[in-house]
Each structure stands twice: as structure tokens, then as C-alpha cells.
């Protein structure tokens, strides 16, 4: 990923998504912003698991790609930079921020992909899973095993995810939103972002064990 963007435009975009980004100690990844570069645009996305803000700004895209980095660190670099243009370039899982006088390297994370559905579009999580299996090419860079940590199919009632796309053989684990199972599973997934990828069955077993452990703790209380 490599893009050149006006400093003032990048500030406006970051200020927009920063409205819902806070100091989340339990789920640090929620303090990150997703940067996606394609089609002469930089798209910035942030979420607090309740709502998401997506905004895009014009840019010179030399190489498409995406990466997620701590929003505060990127914002501080851009705000304190007086140069007109800023270059954003991925280097593995890190983001290189370059301008005429300054440069910085921000540690990032590989990207998780997501298909979001809701009642307004008359689609649900089953449609999202079908899109992954039938219409998403696993050979595309973003879906490669070493880049995409997890692939989420989401609607307003359910979440399903898999860790490796294999066409119609892709295996999705179903979770239910707003339940203990969902909360523990998200914690396990976010922890996995900084670790070696686990096999789908290993993730499922970890989630189940976590749920049983939490239930036993509540019973003891």
C-alpha cells in the first residue's frame, strides 16, 4: 500500500473517524483506524462495535492496499506536520508516514475482512457467508492466509467467521451477538490478531472453554 495525500485532507478524515475512537483498554484494536487505499481514494474506517464511521478522501494511490493502525498515533503525526503532502506506505504490518521534513513508523495489524448486512438491504449473515464462498476469490491478496486474520459475516443478530477462505469448503463458526459466547469469542479473536493464526477448530475450542470458565466463575459468585 502506498498513497500520497494532502495533509489538510488527511486531518479532516481522521477527525471524522476519531469521534467514536476512545481509550478502550479491554479491546485495544477498537482504538485503531482502518486505512484502505484504492481507486484514487483513501477510505478511513473506525468502530466501537455499536456504530461505525466511514469516510473517504482523495489521494494519489501508487499501490492499493489496507492496514489498521492506532488512530491517536497517526493523528498526532499528521496534526504536528506542517508539510503539504504526506506519504502513507505499508511495510509489512507497519505504516511508514513520510513528508518532506518528517517521518515516522507506526506499528499496525493485518486486516480482518468483513461483510456487513442488515434489514435495510434485505440481507442477513447467510447472504454474507454465501458471498465469501461463491464470490470472493481466495487468491486475492487481501484474502491470503498470511494477511487476512479472520473473515467476518455480520448482520444485526448474528456473527459468523472463518480464518481461511477455501471457496465452498470455507468453514464458518456461528456466534450470536449480545451474548456471553459472542463477547468471549471477540476477545479470543482480538487476542489472536497478535499471534500465529489458529486453526478454525482450535479457535472454536478456545471459545467454548472460555465460555464454560466464565459460567463457572459466575456460578461460584
Mean pLDDT of the chain: 75
Residues of the chain with CATH 3.10.150.10: 2-107
Q: What is the pLDDT of residue 214?
A: 46
pLDDT surpassing 80 at residue 5: yes
Are the CB atoms for 34 and 45 separated by under 8 Å?
yes
Range of weakest confidence among 21-30, 105-114, 137-146: 137-146
Q: What is the pLDDT of residue 24?
A: 58
Better pLDDT: 207 or 153: 153
Q: What is the pLDDT of residue 21?
A: 82
SS3 track for 120-171? HHCCCHHHHHHHHHHHCCCCCHHHCCCCCCCEEEECCCEEEEECCCECECCC
Please, what is the end-to-end C-alpha distance for the chain in angstroms? 50
Q: What is the pLDDT of residue 180?
A: 44
Q: What gap in Å lies between CA 195 and CA 179, rounded to an integer?
A: 25
What percentage of the chain carries pLDDT values higher than 90? 28
Q: What gap in Å lies between CA 164 and CA 220, rounded to an integer?
A: 38
CATH number of 2-107: 3.10.150.10
pLDDT mean over 61-73: 90
Could you tell me the sign of the dihedral formed by the alpha carbons of 3, 7, 8, 14, in that order? positive
Here the cell at position 101 is 521534513
Q: What is the pLDDT of residue 112?
A: 64
Q: Which of 45-59, 85-99, 124-138 has the highest average model confidence (pLDDT)?
A: 85-99
Could you tell me the sign of the dihedral formed by the alpha carbons of 155, 157, 161, 165, in that order? negative
Q: What is the pLDDT of residue 132?
A: 84
Q: What is the pLDDT of residue 143?
A: 54
Range of weakest confidence among 45-49, 143-147, 161-165, 197-201: 197-201
C-alpha radius of gyration, the chain, whole number: 18
What percentage of the chain carries pLDDT values higher than 70? 65
Q: What is the pLDDT of residue 74?
A: 94
Better pLDDT: 184 or 166: 166
SS3 60: strand
Q: What is the pLDDT of residue 218?
A: 46
Amino acid at each position: 500500500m502506498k498513497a500520497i495525500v494532502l495533509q489538510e485532507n488527511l486531518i479532516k478524515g481522521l477527525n471524522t473517524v476519531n469521534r467514536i475512537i476512545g481509550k478502550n483498554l479491554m479491546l485495544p484494536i477498537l482504538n485503531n483506524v482502518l486505512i484502505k487505499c484504492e481507486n484514487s481514494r483513501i477510505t478511513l474506517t473506525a468502530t466501537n462495535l455499536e456504530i461505525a464511521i466511514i469516510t473517504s478522501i482523495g489521494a494519489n494511490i501508487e499501490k492499493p492496499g489496507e492496514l489498521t493502525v492506532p488512530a491517536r498515533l497517526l493523528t498526532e503525526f499528521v496534526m504536528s506536520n506542517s508539510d503539504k503532502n504526506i506519504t502513507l506506505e505499508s511495510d509489512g504490518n507497519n505504516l511508514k508516514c513520510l513528508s518532506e521534513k518528517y517521518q515516522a513508523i507506526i506499528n499496525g495489524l493485518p486486516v480482518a475482512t468483513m461483510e456487513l448486512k442488515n434489514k435495510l438491504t434485505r440481507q442477513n449473515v447467510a447472504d454474507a457467508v454465501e458471498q465469501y464462498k461463491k464470490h470472493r476469490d481466495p487468491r486475492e491478496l487481501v484474502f491470503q492466509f498470511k494477511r487476512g486474520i479472520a473473515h467476518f459475516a455480520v448482520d444485526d443478530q448474528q456473527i459468523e467467521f472463518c480464518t481461511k477462505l477455501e471457496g465452498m469448503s470455507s468453514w464458518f463458526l456461528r456466534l450470536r451477538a449480545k451474548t456471553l459466547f459472542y463477547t468471549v469469542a471477540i476477545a479470543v479473536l482480538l487476542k489472536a490478531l497478535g499471534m500465529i493464526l489458529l486453526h478454525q477448530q482450535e479457535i472454536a475450542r478456545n471459545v467454548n472453554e472460555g465460555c464454560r470458565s466464565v459460567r463457572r466463575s459466575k456460578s461460584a459468585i
